[in-house]
């Protein structure tokens, strides 16, 4: 799983510090942390795989309100529409503290590691087999302890 960061330079630097303090860089197994510099690149990545982690500066998110409709000079030119994010399932989390952000990222990484990828599943029976295997594995580990 990859982590993509889109925002101002200060936002990107702050996020990198948070990821370093939370040791998130070491918890990503086969992914990477990438700064995104253009709006088009961000949209392409979201369209390609919306299940990655996208950390977007709230100043770059354009709300659908009076200001964005009628006072367009106040809207950032490199901003992304909130409706686009919501449509692709990205706009689900707003973090107030840095600790919440690291907890959120850790939870997302944990769930990504536990769930089988869609390309690896060819039938519903394989899903049930995977869960049964997981349950049997955890019972065997408890029995050995």
Domain boundaries, the chain: 3-114, 117-145
Which of 1-10, 67-76, 77-86 reaches the highest mean pLDDT? 1-10
Closest to 116 in 3D by CA, of 105, 106, 126: 126
CA angle in degrees (0–180, nearest 5) for 78-100-77: 5
CA angle in degrees (0–180, nearest 5) for 80-82-83: 115
Rounded distance, CA 123 to CA 2, Å? 27
pLDDT digits (tens, 9 = 90+) for 15-74: 999 999 888 888 887 889 999 999 999 999 999 998 899 999 888 888 877 666 667 766
Exposed (0-12), middle (13-18) or buried (19+): which is 27, by Cβ within 10 Å?
middle
pLDDT digits (tens, 9 = 90+) for 87-138: 888 866 666 677 788 888 888 888 876 655 555 555 556 666 666 655 655 5
């Amino acid at each position: 799983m990859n982590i993509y960061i889109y925002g101002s330079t200060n936002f990107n630097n702050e996020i990198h510090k948070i990821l370093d303090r939370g040791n998130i860089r070491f918890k990503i197994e086969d992914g990477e942390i990438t700064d995104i510099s253009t709006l088009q690149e961000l949209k392409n990545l979201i369209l390609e795989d919306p299940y990655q982690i996208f950390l977007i500066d709230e100043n770059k998110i354009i709300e659908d309100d009076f200001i964005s409709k009628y006072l367009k000079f106040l809207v950032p030119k490199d901003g992304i529409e909130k409706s686009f994010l919501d449509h692709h399932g990205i706009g689900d989390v707003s973090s107030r503290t840095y600790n919440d952000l690291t907890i959120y990222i850790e939870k997302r990484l944990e769930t990504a590691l536990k769930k089988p990828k869609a390309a690896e599943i060819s039938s519903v029976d394989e899903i049930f087999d995977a869960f049964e295997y997981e349950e049997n594995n955890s019972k065997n580990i408890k029995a050995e302890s």
